[in-house]
């Protein structure tokens, strides 16, 4: 059984004099994940004193994998990081000797595979090159426990739970607006292969969104695949979530992997940082993790989700504002990027 530390903000124990240079090989082009880029670059602290981002997947697409690897080697030879983190590699089929080449260039570097997505089942199986990569590196960071943790642990004994953080820095002051508006942000995932190939939570997500669409007049849906619903508002840019969540009081959620304990997408911390009242399905260990976050509510089915929303509408504005403030306050503690990543890095270095 994996013991989970719920006190990331307390148990830091950062060395006083040892500092590290980190390098993040990210899976995007420059500027396309501004929230993640800004969060990573702002995480300078007594433990990590210098950061650098390399756009490895972008280079692979633009230059080809061989040339991108050669460029990466030149970059890390010049920068000489103590810690090299690869963020997603599912779309890049790197050669089997890729990691050994990096260790040959920098024998003392600690290489970490950070997998922010969830894999499992017929709908989204873990790929063979991901397994080989996990076996070859010093540590693996993942976003959930349970079967997903056990699967990754088979390939690397230093598999570490690192929850999704607030990857969109606060730009605007939280207004804590109180209104009847509710939103759902996420995609409808379908497949032509049949129901068993859908992601585990896809069917219940679809049922929830359709049910809320037919019962809540002030409902807004964002994402792909919902175009036939009356509440659908289209796609939303990643950075635009800041304004949306500030303007809407309630946020409904249903994750694609409901049986993976402590898994959530980064929409949850982004939402809670803005103080939205969060209504989500009961998910393994959620109630323990969010025990001090007053504005997070759990449902077992779509009917219960609607009942929670209706109950909240009966509360006065002061009570609701207190819930929003509680969510924003506690989110800054439990989703703090510096303490979470430093806690994880200590277990590898």
User: 181-220: per-residue pLDDT in tens?
Assistant: 999 999 998 887 777 778 889 999 999 999 999 999 999 9
**Sheet containing strand 277-281, strands side by side:** 232-234, 219-222, 182-185, 250-253, 277-281, 296-299
> In DSSP terms, which residues pair with 53 in a beta bridge?
24
Nearest to 325 by CA among 295, 286, 283: 295
Q: Which residue has the tokens 């396309």?
A: 32
State residue 15's pLDDT score: 45
The number of helix segments (H) and strand segments (E) in the chain equals 13, 12
User: 116-165: per-residue pLDDT in tens?
Assistant: 888 877 778 888 999 999 999 999 999 999 999 999 999 999 999 999 88
User: 13-39: per-residue pLDDT in tens?
Assistant: 444 457 899 999 988 888 777 777 877
User: 243-268: per-residue pLDDT in tens?
Assistant: 999 999 999 999 988 889 999 999 99
Give the phi and the psi of residue 159 in degrees, each rounded to 5: -90, 125
State residue 4's pLDDT score: 54
| H or E stretch at 184 | strand 182-185
| 292: number of Cβ within 10 Å | 12
State residue 17's pLDDT score: 59
- More confident: 323 or 283: 323
Instruction: Tell me the percentage of the chain whose pLDDT exceeds 90.
Output: 66
pLDDT, averaged across the chain: 90
- More confident: 172 or 330: 330
| H or E stretch at 48 | strand 48-54
Backbone dihedral region for residue 204 (phi beyond 0: left; psi -120 to 50: alpha; all else: beta): alpha
DSSP code string of 63-127: H-HHHHHHHHHHHHHHH--SEEEEE--TT----TTHHHHHHHH-TT-EEEEE--S--BTTTBPPP
> In DSSP terms, which residues pair with 141 in a beta bridge?
114, 160
State residue 140's pLDDT score: 97
* 130, 134, 140, 143: CA torsion to nearest 10: 30
End-to-end CA distance of the chain: 23
User: 65-116: per-residue pLDDT in tens?
Assistant: 999 999 999 999 999 999 999 998 888 889 999 999 999 999 999 999 999 8
- More confident: 109 or 12: 109
User: 52-66: per-residue pLDDT in tens?
Assistant: 999 999 999 999 999
Nearest to 224 by CA among 234, 212, 214, 210: 234
- pTM here is 0.89
How far apart (Å, rounded) are the C-alpha atoms in residues 137 and 103? 10
Question: Residue 12: pLDDT above 50?
Answer: no
């Amino acid at each position: 059984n994996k013991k989970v530390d719920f006190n990331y903000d307390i148990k830091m124990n950062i060395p006083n004099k040892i500092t590290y240079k980190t390098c993040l090989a990210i899976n995007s082009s420059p500027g396309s994940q501004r929230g993640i880029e800004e969060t990573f670059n702002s995480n300078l602290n007594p433990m990590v004193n210098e950061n650098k981002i390399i756009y490895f997947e972008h280079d692979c697409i633009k230059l080809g994998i061989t040339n991108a690897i050669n460029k990466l080697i030149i970059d890390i030879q010049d920068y000489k990081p103590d810690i090299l983190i690869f963020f997603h590699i599912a779309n890049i089929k790197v050669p089997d000797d890729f990691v050994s080449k990096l260790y040959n260039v920098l024998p003392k570097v600690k290489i970490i595979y950070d997998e922010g997505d969830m894999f499992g089942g017929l709908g989204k199986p873990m790929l063979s090159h991901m397994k080989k990569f996990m076996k070859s590196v010093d540590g693996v960071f993942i976003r959930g426990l349970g079967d997903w943790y056990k699967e990754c642990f088979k390939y690397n004994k230093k598999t570490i739970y690192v929850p999704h953080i607030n990857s969109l820095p606060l730009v605007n002051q939280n207004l804590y607006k109180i209104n009847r508006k509710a939103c759902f942000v996420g995609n409808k995932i379908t497949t032509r292969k049949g129901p068993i190939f859908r992601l585990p939570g896809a069917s219940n997500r679809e049922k929830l969104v359709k049910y809320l669409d037919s019962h809540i007049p002030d409902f807004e849906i964002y994402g792909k695949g919902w175009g036939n619903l009356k509440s659908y508002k289209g796609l939303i840019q990643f950075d635009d979530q800041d304004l949306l969540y500030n303007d809407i009081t309630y946020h409904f959620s249903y994750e694609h992997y409901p049986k993976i304990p402590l898994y959530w997408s980064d929409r949850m911390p982004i939402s809670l940082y803005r103080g939205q009242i969060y209504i989500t399905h009961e998910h393994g260990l959620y109630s323990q993790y969010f025990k001090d976050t007053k504005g997070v509510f759990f449902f077992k089915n779509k009917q219960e989700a609607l009942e929670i929303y209706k109950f909240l509408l009966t509360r006065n504005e002061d009570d609701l504002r207190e819930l929003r403030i509680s969510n924003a306050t506690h989110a800054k503690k439990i989703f703090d990027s510096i303490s979470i990543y430093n806690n994880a890095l200590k277990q590898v270095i």
